[in-house]
A and B are shown apart, each in its own frame.
Chain A
């Protein structure tokens, strides 16, 4: 007797009792309140969209910060020029 061929014979794939698929689907429906509307792929797409929005908002935030910094630099430069002019006039008198 060849034990390995006997094992292939006895350890076969086995179909479950009838109605197995229906029982699985009943459990799926019971365990997931929103079964078909948001499949896993849809959920990943939603997550990707949320990530894109977050990146866009973050980019806009960085842009706004840089712009504010640039405005501040211009304001300081103008103020510095005014102070220099005032100092110049005081020195002339």
Chain B
């Protein structure tokens, strides 16, 4: 019996687990915007984001056999990406960024590019934990409980990080509470 017959032609996860490299390439394509997006929103640096995203998919290939389902894959990718982002920053040492130094490229589809640029520059200056939690909350639309499970911290700690991050953003950019 071939892998395709056992797994189903459209089940790229199953076929990748059976060692089909084309199916793994499909998995990468399906999830690259999530993984790269988290790293990009965290670092604001194309090179670092690509490096981390590649590492995540390499690790996925290594641990493909441990993935139980599509939803587990999504959880795993978000968790490993978030942890790799934090580790990469920890290795390079804490870096406080002056708002004047930040020139973050803005998504051209946003309604107000000026506000967007200002927001991104403030986000870039936040501590790493606040930054990754903001990214998971607003890019991936995850709740504090899910983020806590992902990062191995209590829900209330996540809420507290979120609260402090939003407070800092409102202080710098303004906006409703």
Considering the complex, give the chain B residue whose CB is closest to the CB of A22.
B25
Contacts A10-B120, A28-B21, A42-B18 given: A16-B32 contact, CB under 8 Å? yes
Classify the interface of chain A: helix, strand, loop or mixed: helix
For A1, list chain B residues within 8 Å (CB).
115, 173-176
Is B169 in the interface zone, CB < 8 Å from A? yes
Q: B116's contact among A9, A17, A27, by CB below 8 Å, is which? A: A9
Classify the interface of chain B: helix, strand, loop or mixed: helix
Total interface residues on B, CB under 8 Å, equals 55
Contact A28 B175, beta carbon cutoff 8 Å: no
Contact B21 A13, beta carbon cutoff 8 Å: no
* Interface set, chain A 57-80, CB cutoff 8 A to B: none
Contacts A14-B41, A16-B50 given: A3-B166 contact, CB under 8 Å? yes
List residues of chain B with CB under 8 Å of any chain A CB: 16-21, 24-25, 28-29, 32-34, 36-37, 40-41, 46, 49-50, 53-54, 57-58, 61-66, 106-107, 109-112, 115-116, 119-120, 123, 134-135, 137-141, 166, 169-170, 173-176
26 contacts between A and B (CB under 8 A): A1-B173, A1-B174, A1-B176, A2-B176, A6-B112, A7-B137, A7-B169, A9-B107, A9-B111, A10-B106, A10-B110, A11-B135, A13-B37, A16-B32, A16-B33, A17-B50, A23-B54, A28-B61, A39-B19, A39-B65, A40-B17, A40-B62, A40-B66, A41-B18, A42-B18, A42-B19
